[in-house]
Structure 1
Amino acid sequence: MRLTFPLFGTAAAISWRRTLGVGVLGALGVGAVLWLLLTGHGRLALTLMLLELFVAMATVNVRVAILAVFAYLIVLGDLRRLLIPLFGWSGLDPLLVVGSVFALVVVAGALVNREIRFDTKLAKWTLALMAIMVLQIFNPKQGGLMVGLAGAMFLIVPICWFWVGRTYATPAFMRTLLYGLVLPLALVAAAYGTYQVFFGYLPHQQRWLEMNWYQGLGSPNNPSPISLFASNTEYGKFLSIGVVLAWAAFLKGNRMAGGIALILLVAVALTGIRGPLFFSLAMMVGLWAVLSRSTVVWVLRGGLAAVVAIVGLTVGLTTATQLDIDPRARKRLERQAQEFVYAWRGQTDYSSADKHFSMMLGGYLYSLSNPFGLGIGSVTKAALKFGGRAYNTETHLGNSFVALGLPGGVLYHVIIFLIILYAFRYWIFSRSLISLAILGILGVTMASLLAGEAYAVGPLTAFCAGAIDRLYSNCIVNKIN
């Protein structure tokens, strides 16, 4: 008896012996899950169960499994909070590694099936970057091997999503991922987060807040919205991805998508986080500008749109902060106005943009005095959890020099440049919705490959980077042929 189904994207004939082996492994897995539950390791049991489920799905249809894992990663933050009454809370939650382990398994399967090729500049440079990152695991300056190994889980393993995207992305699949999954969940996240702004956290989130409050959330009495995510920062980044997806669809003729983009943009403003709002508006300007086929018109359209965006933002925030609205919402908008209105007018001495630029510059300068870097764990939570030496510039560009040293930092910047360049060229060649949408995503995330602590946004960005390498390469081949 022989069964045939796609294994990691290729047809594979499965003999009854192998089927029996898979069944035995599945039974052992179920037994392990039950044992972990009975011994009080509920989170570990759920982790093992989810991994078995996602890997089993991948043996049938890897692309469906990828969609399922991304859905899981998007809701992971709130899922962990919901489980507190059942399993308690742990800062070293095994549920965090599900996406990374899945990516490792898929990449391993693709390597065995010889589906991964290193035939482009971007692929070769990314492989070289990962080699440098592996060496930085053993950098003694970060405080020990455990710091390096934990840092690898945050930074190296998520880059495996680059190879997943490069191997399995197609235009049709990207449309399903971005417009069938990410954009709808961005709307759900926006509704959830906006509810938190006006009505506060739900009971399970309040319980988590009392256990895990940190300064980045603001006042415990009026914390920043986190929606489905592990942090308010990732929530803002995910909303900005939703904004550019809806905006790209609007620019390609879907009029309803313009309203969706506006709704998501308001939700971004209500987070009180400045970066996502700035990058959302900047990419809305940029995407509208590149609709033209003339470089001169790009500049003219970009300049005009930038003026409209600045005036609209200034008037909008000034008006909104003067309205008789909920004090919690006004506080979020006033925080935005402090950066985008008052700082520009010279009415305040504080500017978070200046602070972040100084921190990023510090990362660049650090590599001059420490050319071999501080180690891959130094820019992640691993340094704090395992007593290592921490130095985080809060920007992936600055962190690349701190963690990887001068050679690794330079190589990382080359890779980011190539990703943006290929995304731009892919748009010029194809003029498709997907090319415009991916360009927008890579723009609002700055094509960060060192965002492993953003458990959904980091893998999604890396996946899109790999997808661009594949789609652009295929586009070039088709043009030549």
Structure 2
Amino acid sequence: MEWTQAIGGSVARTLPWRRALGVGLIGVLGVGAVLYLLLTGRGRLAMTLVFLELFVAMATVNVRAAILAVFTYLIILGDLRRLLIPVFGWSGTDPLLMVGSVFALVVTAGALVNREIRFDTKLAKWTLVLMAIMVLQIFNPKQGGLMVGLAGAMFLIVPICWFWVGRTYATLAMVRTLLYGLVVPLALVAAAYGTYQVFFGYLPHQQHWLEMNWYAGLGDPNNPAPISLFASNTEYGKFISIGAVLAWAAFLRGNRGAGLLVPPLLIAIALTGSRGPLFFSLAMMVGLWAVLARTTATWVLRGALAAVLAASGLVWSLTQASQLDLDPHVQARLNRQAQEFIHARRGDEEYSSAEKHFTMMLGGYLYPLREPLGLGIGAVTKAAVKFGGRSYNTETHLGNSFVALGLPGGIVYHVVIVLLVLTAFRYWMRTRSLIALALLGVLGVTMANLLAGEAYAVGPLVAFCAGAVDRLALSNRTERDA
């Protein structure tokens, strides 16, 4: 049996003695390499090798269990890196960030060699075309050099490998375990952790990291935004938004206990001070309730009613919250939400950032008028700043697609997103199952962002769910036809 067959399996396989001997030798060499790296002071690289060996070894026995383990690792990765500072120091180019990407590459390569990846849907075919364009954009000289393109590939191309992982290995049972056995519980943990940071401040290891790595996105250094388990406050807000929408989906499908999880998650989202996650969470909750209906007219009526109720409730809640006499650190975050949703302007000072973000996205759509072939995939990532390249980021994946990939690539990316949303919606309409509604919610609350490689857990999760939707929808159609 070939190794690629073993990695593609979902149950334990017996390796022939030659293969078992080879795996054993690789393990011994790996242990030796880890010891060498530790002795030479490269502890983070040693830890990276340990995690990679562990996850790949798991994949040779049970690839689905390995995928779940890797997602657990990615979710806690931000705080894990901070905890290791006293032992191994800090590095802006931390190799621990590569574990998820390398694992996805290895599993995707194994599935390709084993001919388990199929291009038998429109979404799969267009995603393949998109990746081909992205590979070509690695060599776009306008981004500032090959290193910028190669580094950009790690942020944009490699995370999309998770689409193929999801499309090859996702099953109903696995997706249920991932979303409700892993993501929702860890979203609750993350929300509790982040809320603690809002009220009591960072823990010592996080404060140490903050002193070395403060950046403007964290806000006031004396009252930094909560980051919880994650590398950034932005990803933290996105992740607990996913958790809130998943809990809401379960509530809508009859799990009344899941409804109790929604309020604390929404409160944690509000306390981040970030307006986007709160808006998209509420909007997606409205949308999921609306699509429970079976006719278009009822969708519109339910959606309009829910939107009015949600908006009224949000305005009332934030109005009351802004009048509370809470700790100044907490009050500042609630006031920031109130400034966005209750009034966009007060005097000459502009509070709303919606107009700014829309203008930036529009600039991305118009960018092909200046650069029809785009700047290259590194230009919209941290790679451009790190390697001195040309940087232009619209802070939206839709706008960035035209900046990075040019007019042809931007159009292809939009085709992929439209096909993905249609596939998810049709899957829900055919099955009306919890998993279909949950996947629709994940894609909706994240705007089906497949270019979120700098969100080390959320990016792979969204791409995996996109692949899972395509696989499960195809399986459902095949069963119905049979």
TM-score range, shorter chain: over 0.9
The answer for the alignment partner of 1:310 in structure 2 is 311
Is 2:221 the partner of 1:198? Answer: no
Whether the 8 Å CA contact 2:275–2:340 is kept in 1: the answer is yes
Identity of matched residues, %: 77
Instruction: Tell me, in whole angstroms, the C-alpha distance in 1 between the residues paired with 2:141 and 2:183.
Output: 40
- String of CA shifts for 1:171-225, please: whole Å, max 9, x gaps: 1110000000000000000000000000000000001001000001000000000
User: CA offset at residue 309 of structure 1?
Assistant: 0.5
Is 2:47 the partner of 1:46? Answer: yes
AA of the residue aligned to 1:453: E
**Correspondence 1:69-468 to 2 at 5 A:** 69-343=70-344, 349-468=350-469
AA of the residue aligned to 1:134: V
The answer for the alignment partner of 2:56 in structure 1 is 55
- String of CA shifts for 1:149-178, please: whole Å, max 9, x gaps: 000000000000000000011111100000
Is 2:24 the partner of 1:23? Answer: yes
User: CA offset at residue 6 of structure 1?
Assistant: 4.9
Instruction: Tell me, in whole angstroms, the C-alpha distance in 2 between the residues paired with 1:328 and 1:342.
Output: 21
AA of the residue aligned to 2:206: Q
Instruction: Tell me, in whole angstroms, the C-alpha distance in 1 between the residues paired with 2:355 and 2:371.
Output: 24
- String of CA shifts for 1:28-59, please: whole Å, max 9, x gaps: 00000000000000000000010000000000
AA of the residue aligned to 1:307: V
AA of the residue aligned to 1:234: E
User: CA offset at residue 349 of structure 1?
Assistant: 3.0
Whether the 8 Å CA contact 1:147–1:382 is kept in 2: the answer is yes
Matched residue SS, 2:379: coil
Label 1:59 to 1:29 Cα distance change in 2 as closer, same or farther (>3 A).
same
Matched residue SS, 1:424: helix
- String of CA shifts for 1:128-153, please: whole Å, max 9, x gaps: 10000000000000001000000000
- String of CA shifts for 1:262-319, please: whole Å, max 9, x gaps: 1101100000001100000000000000111111110000000000000000000000
Instruction: Tell me, in whole angstroms, the C-alpha distance in 1 between the residues paired with 2:129 and 2:46.
Output: 36
Matched residue SS, 2:455: coil
Matched residue SS, 1:377: helix
AA of the residue aligned to 1:269: A
Whether the 8 Å CA contact 1:51–1:102 is kept in 2: the answer is yes
Whether the 8 Å CA contact 2:343–2:351 is kept in 1: the answer is no
Instruction: Tell me, in whole angstroms, the C-alpha distance in 1 between the residues paired with 2:6 and 2:36.
Output: 32
AA of the residue aligned to 2:18: R
Instruction: Tell me, in whole angstroms, the C-alpha distance in 2 between the residues paired with 1:326 and 1:424.
Output: 43
CA RMSD across the alignment: 1.5
Whether the 8 Å CA contact 1:379–1:403 is kept in 2: the answer is yes
User: CA offset at residue 14 of structure 1?
Assistant: 1.7
- The list of structure 1 runs, each at least 4 consecutive aligned residues, that deviate by more than 2 angstroms after superposition, is 10-13, 344-350
Matched residue SS, 1:342: coil
5+ long unaligned stretches in structure 2: none
User: CA offset at residue 344 of structure 1?
Assistant: 7.7
Label 1:343 to 1:45 Cα distance change in 2 as closer, same or farther (>3 A).
same
TM-score (norm 1): 0.98
User: CA offset at residue 7 of structure 1?
Assistant: 3.4
AA of the residue aligned to 1:462: A
User: CA offset at residue 374 of structure 1?
Assistant: 0.4
Instruction: Tell me, in whole angstroms, the C-alpha distance in 2 between the residues paired with 1:7 and 1:418.
Output: 29
User: CA offset at residue 345 of structure 1?
Assistant: 8.7
AA of the residue aligned to 1:123: A
Whether the 8 Å CA contact 1:137–1:375 is kept in 2: the answer is yes
Instruction: Tell me, in whole angstroms, the C-alpha distance in 2 between the residues paired with 1:249 and 1:345.
Output: 40
Alignment: residue pair count: 479
Instruction: Tell me, in whole angstroms, the C-alpha distance in 2 between the residues paired with 1:255 and 1:333.
Output: 28
AA of the residue aligned to 1:245: L
User: CA offset at residue 368 of structure 1?
Assistant: 1.6
Whether the 8 Å CA contact 2:138–2:149 is kept in 1: the answer is yes
Matched residue SS, 2:344: helix
The answer for the alignment partner of 1:37 in structure 2 is 38
- String of CA shifts for 1:366-410, please: whole Å, max 9, x gaps: 112111000100000000000111101000000000000000001
Instruction: Tell me, in whole angstroms, the C-alpha distance in 1 between the residues paired with 2:369 and 2:177.
Output: 45
User: CA offset at residue 350 of structure 1?
Assistant: 3.4
Is 2:68 the partner of 1:67? Answer: yes
Instruction: Tell me, in whole angstroms, the C-alpha distance in 1 between the residues paired with 2:197 and 2:112.
Output: 44
Instruction: Tell me, in whole angstroms, the C-alpha distance in 1 between the residues paired with 2:347 and 2:417.
Output: 34
